[in-house]
Amino acid sequence: MCGIVGAVAKRPIAGLLIDGLKKLEYRGYDSAGIAVIDAQHQLKRLRVAGKVRELENALSTQPLYAHMGIAHTRWATHGVPSEQNAHPFISHDKFALVHNGIIENHSILREKLLREGYQFLSETDTETAVHLIHYHYTQMGDFLSAVRAAVNELEGAYALGVFSTDYPDRVIGVRQGAPLVIGKGQNENFIASDPLALLSITQQFIYLEDYDIVDLGLHAFQIYDRQGQAVNRETHTLSVGLDAIERGEYRHFMKKEIMEQPEAIASCLEGRITKSHVLPAIFGPKAETIFPQVEHVQLIACGTSYHAAMVARYWIESLARIPCSVEVASEFRYREMAQSKNSLFVTLSQSGETADTLAALRLAKKMDYLSSLVICNVPGSTMMREADLHFLTRAGVEIGVASTKAFVTQLTALLLLALTLRQQNKQADEKIDRELIEQLQNLPGLIQKVLQQDEMIANWAKAFTEKQHAIFIGRGTLYPIALEGALKMKEISYIHAEGYPSGELKHGPLALVDTSMPVIATVPGGTLLEKSLSNLQEVRARGGKLYVLTDQTHLFHQDAFADAHIIPMPSLHPLLTPILYTIPLQLLAYHVAVLKGTDVDQPRNLAKSVTVE
């Protein structure tokens, strides 16, 4: 989603703002812009409908020399991606403003401002905010008071960065539902949507809370809370190395992140398990008193995180014997539900900022849940700060919009949750638990082996570049993995792909299967093997092209499957197959996208951190 960077410094800031925007590119955007106050105290602005590098090119021909300014990457919501709709927006050459989120009452405000004589040059909701600040400034004559008065009128979830030519060394930031951090420097201060934008400048960050307004100056800043009281917020030191946010030897972040999965899982497990059991306090000290009371688990998430939640339902019910419900956040928020007794509310989110999931968490906190737990990859994110209990997945920074290493660590965390609930629910069986944990520890090594199949998967990919459709199938815990494989394919290769439980094919989707339809199947050995093989026969009988991931390769040497394409998989405990079988599906989507020449790390229309509803 949109990215904001703002700076007040003694040194020239245009380059810093552009660097910041580059670091925010991963969030997804379609246009970019920058506004500054130059040495002559004039407001100068440059905008492009396109990438940050185009803005950078434009800046090289029209340099902006300034010590303060704001910059923005826009992910279109109201109005097409165009220069006219790109931020920053300006009012009367005096105020410039950037915005992330949605101003819901913009139509009413626009009418009011039109009546006051303001002219609108864009189709955006944002332009109302800058004119509204100007309007209040003409009434009140004070910058901070004008921003406050405008914010009181704005409805929605958003973050703002704004400056005025009357105050050439101040930038005001507002957080109301969308993330905004302060980056503290030496005689310079910054704001940004994400600390990553500022990591090359500072490691000291303050996460603003909802309704906070920060008045940022060169040597100091002051935060005000909802009541307008000056408040102090905790400073966090982030020690993320810059190499974590560089592509290194890889062509794409997504490939780097796929290859990092063995170490991501190892890091997620580190210090959290012994040889035979999960350490009791890994979900926080309060979990030890809460978990034994849990009679139901409610899992809430969006997209890939939702698929992780779907896998967890199988685990929690089979290992801990606790009933579990799973729902996408945007549905959970808007329906009347019958709440289960003593239910633990669990949100899953890579970013910890997804608007729908965050809203569901806030709703749950007002309901009758036993407690709330978030499983998240971003320390300091809003969900991590607001949930009662938290678990950091430690996958490391994930830049590719298509989630990969964050997903496998979410799965790892959820398996630990199922095992912990099992221990607390007196369901533990030492022999079974020991075996599961041993295999969990071996998982990074097994993933490494699967990653070695990269070339073979790249060969498979060649057959997909001309395809319009693909079907992914799996049974049990591998059904959500089929959904995830299909989502990855859709997101980055733009091929229409669907995931189904293998047994559902004959209830409809089989009508789509003909000689041009690739069907990607996950077929591990185990109790469902025979049933899965029958489903594959149904596909073959209609001429469908089979692509099979299996540890039962011997079965596919027979005539019945002579024309199936096979990737051999290592054998492992059936409960762990969803983690392992995800890897080739990520690689397949990746290679198809590379061959098709799509923007792998920033696929069209998508954003990494979805901070609007």
398: contact with ligand AGP by CB under 6 A: no
Catalytic residue among 2, 268, 324, 376: 2
Closest to 104 (Cα-Cα) out of 38, 56, 155: 155
> Are residues 344 and 298 in contact, defined by beta-carbon separation less than 8 angstroms?
yes
Question: Quick one: 179 or 185, whose CB is closer to ligand AGP?
Answer: 179
To ligand AGP, the closest distance from the beta carbon of 455 in angstroms equals 24
**Contact window for ligand AGP (CB under 6 A) among 58-66, 136-144, 257-265, 398-406:** 398-406
To ligand AGP, the closest distance from the beta carbon of 612 in angstroms equals 11
HSE at residue 438, side-chain half, CA atoms within 13 A, is 9
Question: Quick one: 172 or 402, whose CB is closer to ligand AGP?
Answer: 402
608 is catalytic: yes
**Contact window for ligand AGP (CB under 6 A) among 78-86, 112-120, 343-351, 504-512:** 343-351
The two tokens of residue 543 are: 């001429």
303: contact with ligand AGP by CB under 6 A: yes
> Are residues 524 and 552 in contact, defined by beta-carbon separation less than 8 angstroms?
yes
> Are residues 335 and 296 in contact, defined by beta-carbon separation less than 8 angstroms?
no
Question: Quick one: 20 or 400, whose CB is closer to ligand AGP?
Answer: 400
Identify the residue among 9, 198, 302, 312 touching ligand AGP (CB under 6 A). Answer: 302
**Contact window for ligand AGP (CB under 6 A) among 81-89, 170-178, 183-191, 400-408:** 400-408
To ligand AGP, the closest distance from the beta carbon of 14 in angstroms equals 31
- Helix or strand (DSSP H, E) at 596: helix 577-596
For residue 231, the SS3 value is strand
**Contact window for ligand AGP (CB under 6 A) among 11-19, 298-306, 437-445, 584-592:** 298-306
Work out the angle at residue 213's Cα, subtended by the Cα atoms of residues 210 and 219, and round it to the nearest 5 degrees: 130
Distances in whole angstroms, Cα of residue 235 to Cα of each of 203, 207, 222, 407? 10, 8, 13, 29
> Are residues 588 and 457 in contact, defined by beta-carbon separation less than 8 angstroms?
yes
305: contact with ligand AGP by CB under 6 A: yes
Residue of minimal Cβ distance to ligand AGP: 303
Question: Quick one: 305 or 453, whose CB is closer to ligand AGP?
Answer: 305
To ligand AGP, the closest distance from the beta carbon of 592 in angstroms equals 15
| 569: amino acid identity, one letter | M
**Contact window for ligand AGP (CB under 6 A) among 257-265, 281-289, 344-352, 582-590:** 344-352
**Contact window for ligand AGP (CB under 6 A) among 117-125, 169-177, 225-233, 347-355:** 347-355
The site map against ligand AGP for 111-150 (x = CB under 6 A) is: ----------------------------------------
357: contact with ligand AGP by CB under 6 A: yes
Identify the residue among 100, 124, 193, 351 touching ligand AGP (CB under 6 A). Answer: 351
Name residues whose C-beta falls within 8 Å of residue 437's C-beta, 6 or more positions apart in sequence: 273, 274, 275, 276, 277, 278, 419
In the 8-state DSSP scheme, what is residue 316?
I
φ and ψ at 405, to 5 degrees? -70, -30
> Are residues 1 and 27 in contact, defined by beta-carbon separation less than 8 angstroms?
yes
Catalytic residue among 51, 256, 545, 608: 608
To ligand AGP, the closest distance from the beta carbon of 303 in angstroms equals 2
Question: Quick one: 375 or 457, whose CB is closer to ligand AGP?
Answer: 375
Closest to 444 (Cα-Cα) out of 255, 572, 285: 572
Identify the residue among 151, 300, 401, 576 touching ligand AGP (CB under 6 A). Answer: 401
Closest to 374 (Cα-Cα) out of 349, 354, 405: 349
Q: In 391-528, which ranges are continuous DSSP H helix?
A: 405-424, 430-451, 454-462, 478-493
Identify the residue among 215, 260, 491, 551 touching ligand AGP (CB under 6 A). Answer: 491
φ and ψ at 462, to 5 degrees? -55, -35
550: contact with ligand AGP by CB under 6 A: no
For residue 138, the SS3 value is helix
Distances in whole angstroms, Cα of residue 611 to Cα of each of 44, 183, 211? 29, 20, 16
Question: Quick one: 216 or 364, whose CB is closer to ligand AGP?
Answer: 364
| 196: amino acid identity, one letter | L
Size of the site for ligand AGP (CB under 6 A): 15
Question: Quick one: 383 or 575, whose CB is closer to ligand AGP?
Answer: 383
Work out the angle at residue 407's Cα, subtended by the Cα atoms of residues 455 and 569, and round it to the nearest 5 degrees: 40
To ligand AGP, the closest distance from the beta carbon of 351 in angstroms equals 3
To ligand AGP, the closest distance from the beta carbon of 566 in angstroms equals 27
Name residues whose C-beta falls within 8 Å of residue 452's C-beta, 6 or more positions apart in sequence: none
- Helix or strand (DSSP H, E) at 313: helix 303-315
Question: Quick one: 167 or 494, whose CB is closer to ligand AGP?
Answer: 494
Identify the residue among 31, 73, 164, 350 touching ligand AGP (CB under 6 A). Answer: 350
- Helix or strand (DSSP H, E) at 534: helix 529-541
Identify the residue among 402, 417, 576, 600 touching ligand AGP (CB under 6 A). Answer: 402
To ligand AGP, the closest distance from the beta carbon of 75 in angstroms equals 13
Q: What is the 3-state secondary structure (H, E, C) of 4-29?
A: EEEEECCCCCHHHHHHHHHHHHHHCC
Segments of 240-335 assigned E as strands: 296-301, 324-328
To ligand AGP, the closest distance from the beta carbon of 605 in angstroms equals 11
The two tokens of residue 528 are: 């469902």
Burial of 461 (0-12, 13-18, 19+ CB in 10 A): buried
Identify the residue among 85, 128, 343, 354 touching ligand AGP (CB under 6 A). Answer: 354
610: contact with ligand AGP by CB under 6 A: yes
Question: Quick one: 206 or 402, whose CB is closer to ligand AGP?
Answer: 402
Question: Quick one: 71 or 374, whose CB is closer to ligand AGP?
Answer: 374
**Binding to ligand AGP (CB under 6 A): which residues in 403-442?**
403
To ligand AGP, the closest distance from the beta carbon of 11 in angstroms equals 34
Question: Quick one: 202 or 350, whose CB is closer to ligand AGP?
Answer: 350
Report how far residue 245's alpha carbon sits from residue 250's, in angstroms, rounded to the nearest whole number.
12
85: contact with ligand AGP by CB under 6 A: no
430-451 and 261-269 helices cross at what angle (nearest 10)? 160
426 is catalytic: no
Name the residues annotated as catalytic.
2, 608
Q: Which residues of the chain form contacts with ligand AGP (CB under 6 A)?
A: 302-305, 349-351, 354, 357, 401-403, 491, 606, 610
